[in-house]
């Protein structure tokens, strides 16, 4: 490699905006993929917090506050989406959204491939001291999520991301650089309204479980409420991350990126 080429390469890799996009994209994608895989676990919020069960009543249905473990990570995905929207615009969000969707599919393909491998006899019994009678069955149950659930998650994820970026920039065009909280929370409010209902409709209404409409509406509403509470709680963090990025890039470079993102 010539000296000129090495200099060009060094300059490219030293670009702080490039590093910022790589880090944000990596964090976004790993959180999206992890949320899909750990989402198979359902946890009781009240028991986790050590409080008495809160019985909700909606659409003729009642229940306690139970969520998938993936909900712990989705607020981080919302935050990353808003930050990338702020500094890299529509193109940046669409790029990482399609990349994350591809990585989710890639991950599930290899999970199903791993399930189909013939297990070693000793391995099947290896976790019996921990109370797992059949390791292969446990592995299949955890990683072999139903195709309807996977399809619902992917469709809802991409719809939510595309709606989020559209709403974010509509609000930004109306308010300019003001009201960062409004475009971040407003875009999440609309996108997650779609996401929360689409994923459960595909997975549990169209899917083999055939949920009644009342149960679908009740569970979707509870999930949406949780996501909105998480989005509001993260407003201070949005300003903190935005300030940190501005300090990292420098005021002039950060302003230029925001202007390009808004164009």
Residue by residue, pLDDT tens for the chain (263 residues) are 555 455 445 577 778 999 999 999 999 999 999 988 888 888 888 888 888 888 888 888 888 888 888 888 888 888 899 999 999 999 999 999 999 999 999 999 999 999 999 999 999 999 999 999 999 999 998 888 778 888 888 999 999 999 999 999 999 988 888 888 999 999 999 999 998 899 889 988 988 888 899 989 988 898 898 889 988 998 999 999 999 999 999 999 999 999 999 88
The pLDDT mean for the chain works out to: 88
Contact 52, 46 (CB under 8 A): yes
Q: Tell me which residue of 24, 10, 33, 31 sits closest to 88, measured CA to CA.
A: 24
Structure tokens at 87: 């500094």
- Give the angle 55-61-65 at the CA atoms, nearest 5°: 35
Return the number of other C-beta atoms located less than 10 Å from residue 195's C-beta.
26
Structure tokens at 44: 């009781």
**174 forms bridges with which residues in the sheet?**
none
Q: Output the pTM of the full model.
A: 0.86
How far apart are alpha carbons 148 and 205 in whole angstroms? 10
Torsion of CA 171, 173, 176, 179, to 10 degrees: 0
How far apart are alpha carbons 247 and 263 in whole angstroms? 23
**43 forms bridges with which residues in the sheet?**
67
- Give the angle 67-70-73 at the CA atoms, nearest 5°: 120
| pLDDT at residue 56 in the model | 81
| pLDDT at residue 58 in the model | 83
How far apart are alpha carbons 61 and 219 in whole angstroms? 9
Question: Would you identify the CATH topology of the domain 31-262?
Answer: Arp2/3 complex 21 kDa subunit ARPC3 (1.10.1760)
Q: What is the DSSP letter of 141?
A: H
């Amino acid at each position: 490699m010539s000296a000129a080429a090495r200099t060009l390469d060094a300059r490219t890799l030293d670009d702080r905006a490039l590093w910022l996009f790589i880090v944000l994209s990596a964090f976004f994608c790993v959180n999206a993929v992890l949320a899909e895989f750990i989402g198979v676990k359902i946890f009781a919020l009240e028991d986790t917090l050590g409080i008495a069960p809160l019985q909700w009543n909606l659409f003729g249905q009642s229940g306690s506050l139970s969520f998938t473990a993936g909900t712990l990570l989705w607020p981080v995905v919302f935050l990353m989406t808003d930050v990338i929207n702020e500094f890299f615009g529509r193109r940046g969000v669409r790029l990482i959204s399609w990349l994350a969707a591809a990585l989710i599919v890639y991950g599930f393909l290899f999970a199903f491939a791993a399930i189909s491998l013939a297990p070693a006899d000793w391995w099947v019994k290896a976790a019996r001291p921990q109370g797992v009678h059949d390791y292969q069955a446990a592995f299949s149950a955890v990683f072999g999520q139903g195709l309807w659930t996977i399809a619902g998650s992917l469709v809802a994820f991409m719809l939510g991301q595309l709606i989020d970026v559209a709403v974010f920039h509509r609000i930004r065009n109306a308010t300019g650089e003001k009201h960062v909280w409004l475009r971040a929370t407003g875009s999440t409010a609309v996108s997650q309204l779609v996401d929360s209902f689409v994923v459960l409709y595909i997975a549990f209404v169209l899917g083999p479980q055939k949920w009644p409409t009342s149960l679908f509406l009740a569970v979707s509403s509870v999930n949406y409420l949780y996501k909105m509470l998480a989005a509001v709680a993260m407003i201070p963090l949005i300003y903190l991350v935005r300030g940190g990025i501005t300090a990292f890039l420098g005021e002039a470079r950060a302003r230029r990126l925001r202007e390009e993102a808004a164009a």
